[in-house]
Every structure is written in structure tokens, then in C-alpha cells.
Amino acid sequence: MRKPIIAGNWKMYKTLTEAIELVNGLKRNLYDIIEADIVVCPSFVALDSVSEILIESNIDCGAQDVYWEKEGAYTGEVSAVMLKDIGCKYAIIGHSERRQYFNETNDTVNKKVKAALAAGLTPIVCVGETLTEREASKTFEVIKDHIQNGLSGITKEDILKIVVAYEPVWAIGTGKTATPGEAQEVHAFIRKLLADLWGKEAADSIRIQYGGSVKPDNAASLMAQEDIDGALVGGASLKVDSFTEIVKKSVGRQSCTHL
Ligand code: PGA
């Protein structure tokens, strides 16, 4: 049985004060959720404070990126060791926005995944096709390339520590969600691919999140799909009430938000 994992990717939103307000609200609303792992990924500047607030709570903290070297003259970068040190548990790696705007490639994803694992962080590895690729019927080809090359050289033991996030680029921030059926089709493909590469037993225990315009009103139907084990939420994770509702609906709880 795979435990659902719902993560909020706050992207480049929220000042420190706003981040603290958001995380305190989530802590208040979600304190009794034990059916899912809950993660928030603030910007680097808010990570330490948010992580401190989340000590001994049921919510974990994640970074939105990580650099692969442990330390050194790499101006502007943050290492996995540094993230681990401030209580971070997860790191999003290979998000499509990083692939699109910051030259992230499968090769850099691979180095980052290995560095994250070595430091004891759980990588949330993003894969997904653009609209042009989908329209050219290249979805499976692209996903295969992202998985095979982004995760190349990962051992059978380490692959179990990874979370995969399927995020069709055309659904990110656009309000266009993949239908539960469309998402399930790709998730099943990813699981089969993981089974081919690391064995069925490993593939059956790896969690695969869906991301791309997840909202309170579509979370439950996406989560009901056999191979969808969670959500990576962008826009709707920026408000206490919508992220609360997404988490509650994802685990089949009645939503009653007290703000
Ligand atoms: P969205 O973003 O929920 O705003 O579409 C998802 C993501 O980029 O992780």
C-alpha cells in the first residue's frame, strides 16, 4: 500500500512573513492528517524558518531545487547537505520550469538526484511532456527519456527512496488539468517503466504524484486513480484553504476549513 504524498510547490511566491503565515495556517488545519505525507516547498529564503515551525509536526519541508556539489565556489547555489542541515526532508528536482528557464537537463537532474540521496533527502523527480510533444504523440518517448536518463545509475535500494512527479507541462499553471484517465494512462506507463528498470516490487512501492492545475475540485478524482499516489500542487498550495481542501479531499476526508 503506497501512502499518498501531497506536496505544495510555492515557487517564487511568498515573502518570509507570508510564508510563516501560510505554514502556520496549514499546521493548524492539517494537524490530524496521518493518512498522507504532507510537504511544503517554500523558497530558499523561507526554508529555515518554515522548517523550524514544522518541527514535530506532521508536515515536512522540501526545497524547490538543489545543487549537486557538497560545497565550494558555486555562487548562488545551495547544497543538499545544507538543506538536510536545516531540517529539509525533500527536494524537488527537474521541475519543468527549471528545465525551461534554467537549462536543467536529464544530466543535471541525475547529478542532483544522486547528491540529494547521498545527503539523505528524498528527491521528488519531475517528468512530463510539453503540449507540442503531446500533440506529436511523443508523450511516452519524453517520459522514458526523463526517467531513463534522469534516474540512470540509481541503485535498486535508492530508487525506493524517490518520489516521481508526473507533470504535463501544458497543465502547469494553465487551469488545464489532464483528465484522471489521461493522467492514469501516463502513471501506469511510468510504473511499468520503473518495473522494467528496477523490478516490479520496487515499482509497486514507488509513489508517483500528479501535478498540473490540481485544485480542490479535481483532487479526489485524480487521487482515485490506481497509479496516482499524490499531488504536486503549485498555485492552489499558496492559500491555506485551498491546500487544506486538497489534502483533505485527497485522503477522503470531509473538508471543513476553519480559517
Ligand atoms: P500548478 O503547478 O498546480 O500551478 O499547475 C504545479 C507545479 O508546477 O508543480
Strand-strand pairing, 5-9 and 122-127: unpaired
**Does residue 258 lie within any of the structural domains?**
no
User: What is the whole-number distance in angstroms between the Cα of residue 7 and the centre of ligand 1?
Assistant: 10
**Does residue 259 lie within any of the structural domains?**
no
Q: What is the reported pLDDT for 81?
A: 98
Angle formed by the axes of helices 139-150 and 106-119, to 10°?
50
Q: What is the reported pLDDT for 259?
A: 46
Tell me which residues of the chain have a pLDDT lower than 70: 255-259
**Does residue 20 lie within any of the structural domains?**
yes
Q: Please state, in angstroms and rounded to a whole number, the distance separating the CA atoms of residues 99 and 110.
A: 13
**Does residue 257 lie within any of the structural domains?**
no
Please identify which of the residues 97, 104, 167, 245 carries the catalytic annotation.
167
Nearest Cα residue to atom 1 of ligand 1: 234
CB 180 near ligand 1, within 6 Å: no
CB 234 near ligand 1, within 6 Å: yes
Task: Tell me the CA distances in angstroms from 154 to 98, 123, 222, one per residue in order.
Answer: 22, 12, 29
Please identify which of the residues 95, 129, 146, 187 carries the catalytic annotation.
95
**Domain containing 209 — which CATH number?**
3.20.20.70
User: What is the whole-number distance in angstroms between the Cα of residue 213 and the centre of ligand 1?
Assistant: 6
Give the mutation target among 100, 172, 213, 222 for probing the ligand 1 site: most ligand atoms within 8 A of CB.
172
**Does residue 62 lie within any of the structural domains?**
yes
Q: Please state, in angstroms and rounded to a whole number, the distance separating the CA atoms of residues 89 and 123.
A: 9
Q: Are 29 and 6 in contact (CB under 8 A)?
A: no
150 carries a ligand binding annotation: no
The DSSP code for 53 is H
Classify each residue of 148-171 as buried b or exposed e, where b means 16 or more C-beta atoms within 10 Å of its C-beta.
eebbeebeeebbebbbbbbbbbbb
Q: What is the reported pLDDT for 257?
A: 52
11 carries a ligand binding annotation: yes
Question: What is the total count of domains within the chain?
Answer: 1
**Does residue 101 lie within any of the structural domains?**
yes
User: What is the whole-number distance in angstroms between the Cα of residue 174 and the centre of ligand 1?
Assistant: 9
Q: What is the reported pLDDT for 174?
A: 87
Residue numbers of the domain that contains 173: 5-250
Tens-place pLDDT, residues 19-73:
999 999 999 999 999 999 999 999 999 999 999 999 999 999 999 999 999 999 9
Q: Whose grid coordinates read 507533470?
A: 167
Residue 254: how many other CB atoms lie within 10 Å: 6
State the closest ligand 1 atom to the C-alpha of 211, by its place in the atom list counted from 1.
6
**Does residue 255 lie within any of the structural domains?**
no
**Does residue 194 lie within any of the structural domains?**
yes
Q: What is the reported pLDDT for 176?
A: 84
Q: What is the reported pLDDT for 213?
A: 94
Q: Whose grid coordinates read 487551469?
A: 175
State the closest ligand 1 atom to the C-alpha of 174, by its place in the atom list counted from 1.
5
